[in-house]
Structure 1
């Protein structure tokens, strides 16, 4: 190295120039093509967001546009309109609260969706482990439309791929607490989608009086109305073609369901289109309140009650033999009555009876009636307190099972079927102050229904007896003086 090279000026330092975006490096011709495409993509994205906002919040969007337009025209008109609407709504709510809540459901829906669910949806899904992760990417269940009533919010959800309704059922309690609800029921709406019923109040808290007695033509044995569901619809039992088991602890309201059924059938009982056969092992403390309704009635669990069961089983077989090759299903055109067997305290007949032979005969007769009685026009309405298998070994023969207030959580699945409690049927949590409230599970339907039966009072039972017998219920006054053999007492 020469002396000149050693003392030569060092190489100039390179200045760090800012890196330009990649699209600035593209040729001008390509830029001219990509610019309109980018504008179209942005316009489509903005339009989609606007459509989505209008879809989930139509009332808010419409009122916002109307407010902006009104203010644009004249500001004081908007203030007057708001004042009139506010005062009118307050008066409406005061005079007709139920109608107000029904009509303004749309406004409540959008407010609760925005302030209760949308604002914390991502956080709740993460904390309840209902999100999904794959290849470092997070997938969240999609919050769809909601519907808010005064007592319940229905939130529709699109599940993450690979999830099952059982994942949501296992976290239903956590979802209820997260969104400030009393309970959460999971209901499948279609493959990949479900609805969360988040309950805030109890619409069945009030006692339901029995309706007025109807005409005979208005009673349909396939849709006998005995109460009301929590959605406000009639609670209907399918007596024709169904067998019914009602389970509940003492004071749960089994009598309400029993007499609500008989009240609804009163026009048919009076005309002879329905025949009642009853067994009351409690000595008639229940069915003895209106014995005129029954064609045959037994007041114990002894030989008389067992013979009555065996007679009904024989009638089932005899009628089925006559229908063979003629018709497959009973109808009123046959001229024969539909027979309903009412058994109060079923366990006294088939479990607590000390005589083993009588107990076995009663079980055999009941199994015949419940398994073969649907087609020839025989139904069973059985009431029991203990739902264990050793008490009622043939629970599966009852097509409709009703769970009133129960003692233990495990009993819910005993009565309604496996997995029903996980779907929200918490019959063991029914309040003792709401007798007649029950969860109902019908074969062929996945979801249970919560309902409350009408409550017939003692006065209603007196009215029922006189209605069926065709007598008047006039009160005869007690005489002031009674004479025996010409002497005043």
Structure 2
């Protein structure tokens, strides 16, 4: 038998899947087409508005350039551009600070477009600051930026579930990624951070002391002793605050001390402020202007301890008289505000070989720092070693200043746990910038970088004569090279 040939069944041809809107009836298509155009138009308008929000100077400049070109063509537009460039150069030459302040927005937009927006996604991924959920990637949102001549402030909206500590741990990587010297993380609001990317040091130059203030202008709650890195005055709260200044030798502790006394000199002169001092170094510091002190001791022996106990007794006595009468000292009481200055605190409470004197000194200081705020007693203590065994009651000082330190761990010892991670790198302060430091106040999360005024020897002579009410010719100290030439 011969085989029978069977024709195979024809293969089914796969039909292309059509978009869902093609299956709709004609009337629905007529409705959806304009709606889609409206959605696209709204999206484009939103993009344009977002661009104008982040780049207003660019948009305004483009509009002006278009109008000028429309009116006068390329020659007028080129002349206007040349005039702007030349005028900006002359402005920068004649008034650099004013130029930097006024053209900040131009620099802001240029750095946002050239440094941050272009590589934001890549940097966030490489720094592991993105997130993934259900196969979808979530990135932190780049918000407004602001560029000053020394830093860029970048606002960031964190991914849901992130914490500021994650950004603090990657601050160094962010700084290097964006070409900055350092990066500090600040919390602005829940979910929103500010990254301070620092490019240069605004506190590199010495800050001279200002002119002597009038008595009425001195506020013990806002005593100006220097400037912050943002250019604002650095103010200490003497009334209602206890201050600890920590720094290695040559860090500028003396600058802070004399800046405080310079600022309150009008009140010292009139008797509204009484200053008591202890200088265990034999008077090498406080002995430069002993007229400012109502009582001063130049050692760490029994006399110094008795002076501390005397002040502690005055604290308790004044508090007892204020009980039921007033809750806070003020100048209308007729009693002076008392400021206790201890130049080297460790010599009194740690290095004193006599254990009983050491314990008495600690007890008296704890009484003054813990109870002296309301009755009108303040402490300004300076020390080199911030370890707990040296200063066991650091928490009683409401304001702590870390000048140049030796070790990174000392920063958290002085300012509090986690402050170094937020950018307070006191251990990296240059030895060529004495008086530069970081300040942390109780109740304030972020530390502030500051520099104290620099009172010269001539300023101290002027201060002595101002407080005593005498006059004298201020002769500057001779230069060494000049003296050698005259001797030759």
User: What TM-score results when the alignment is normalised by the length of structure 1?
Assistant: 0.95
**Contact 2:461-2:474 within 8 A present in 1 as well:** no
1:43 deviation in Å?
1.0
The 10-residue stretch of structure 1 (11-20 or 414-423) with the greater mean CA deviation from structure 2: 11-20
Q: Secondary structure of the equivalent of 2:235? A: strand
Q: Secondary structure of the equivalent of 1:74? A: helix
1:324 deviation in Å?
0.5
Rounded Cα–Cα distance in structure 1 between residues aligned with 2:136 and 2:454:
56
Structure 1 unaligned spans of 5+: 477-489
1:22 deviation in Å?
2.9
Rounded Cα–Cα distance in structure 2 between residues aligned with 1:170 and 1:20:
51
Offset from partner CA, 1:322-377 (integer Å, 9 cap, x none) = 10110000000000000000000100000000000000000000000000000000
Rounded Cα–Cα distance in structure 2 between residues aligned with 1:13 and 1:151:
73
- The answer to whether 1:455 aligns with 2:454 is yes
Question: 1:167 corresponds to which residue?
Answer: 166
Q: Secondary structure of the equivalent of 1:34? A: helix
Question: 2:484 corresponds to which residue?
Answer: none
Question: 1:230 corresponds to which residue?
Answer: 229
1:255 deviation in Å?
0.3
Counterparts in 2 of 1:392 and 1:154: CA distance versus 1, 3 Å: same
Offset from partner CA, 1:254-274 (integer Å, 9 cap, x none) = 000000000001000001000
User: What TM-score results when the alignment is normalised by the length of structure 2?
Assistant: 0.95
Question: 2:138 corresponds to which residue?
Answer: 139
Trace 1:220-369 onto structure 2 (pairs within 5 A).
220-369=219-368
1:14 deviation in Å?
5.8
Counterparts in 2 of 1:303 and 1:135: CA distance versus 1, 3 Å: same
1:475 deviation in Å?
6.9
Rounded Cα–Cα distance in structure 1 between residues aligned with 2:16 and 2:172:
55
1:72 deviation in Å?
2.4
Question: 1:128 corresponds to which residue?
Answer: 127
**Contact 2:462-2:474 within 8 A present in 1 as well:** no
Q: Secondary structure of the equivalent of 2:152? A: strand
Question: 2:51 corresponds to which residue?
Answer: 53
Question: 1:372 corresponds to which residue?
Answer: 371
Question: 2:485 corresponds to which residue?
Answer: none
Rounded Cα–Cα distance in structure 1 between residues aligned with 2:231 and 2:279:
33
The 10-residue stretch of structure 1 (60-69 or 348-357) with the greater mean CA deviation from structure 2: 60-69
Rounded Cα–Cα distance in structure 1 between residues aligned with 2:20 and 2:333:
86
User: Which of 17, 41, 51 is the aligned partner of 2:39?
Assistant: 41
Trace 1:341-420 onto structure 2 (pairs within 5 A).
341-420=340-419
- The answer to whether 1:84 aligns with 2:83 is yes
Question: 1:483 corresponds to which residue?
Answer: none
Question: 1:486 corresponds to which residue?
Answer: none
Q: Secondary structure of the equivalent of 1:226? A: strand
Rounded Cα–Cα distance in structure 1 between residues aligned with 2:72 and 2:170:
52
1:6 deviation in Å?
3.9
Offset from partner CA, 1:359-401 (integer Å, 9 cap, x none) = 0000000000000000000000000000000000000000000
**Contact 2:308-2:361 within 8 A present in 1 as well:** yes
The 10-residue stretch of structure 1 (63-72 or 416-425) with the greater mean CA deviation from structure 2: 63-72
Trace 1:60-209 onto structure 2 (pairs within 5 A).
60-75=58-73, 76-209=75-208
Aligned length: 474
Rounded Cα–Cα distance in structure 1 between residues aligned with 2:6 and 2:363:
118
Structure 2 unaligned spans of 5+: 476-488
1:70 deviation in Å?
2.0
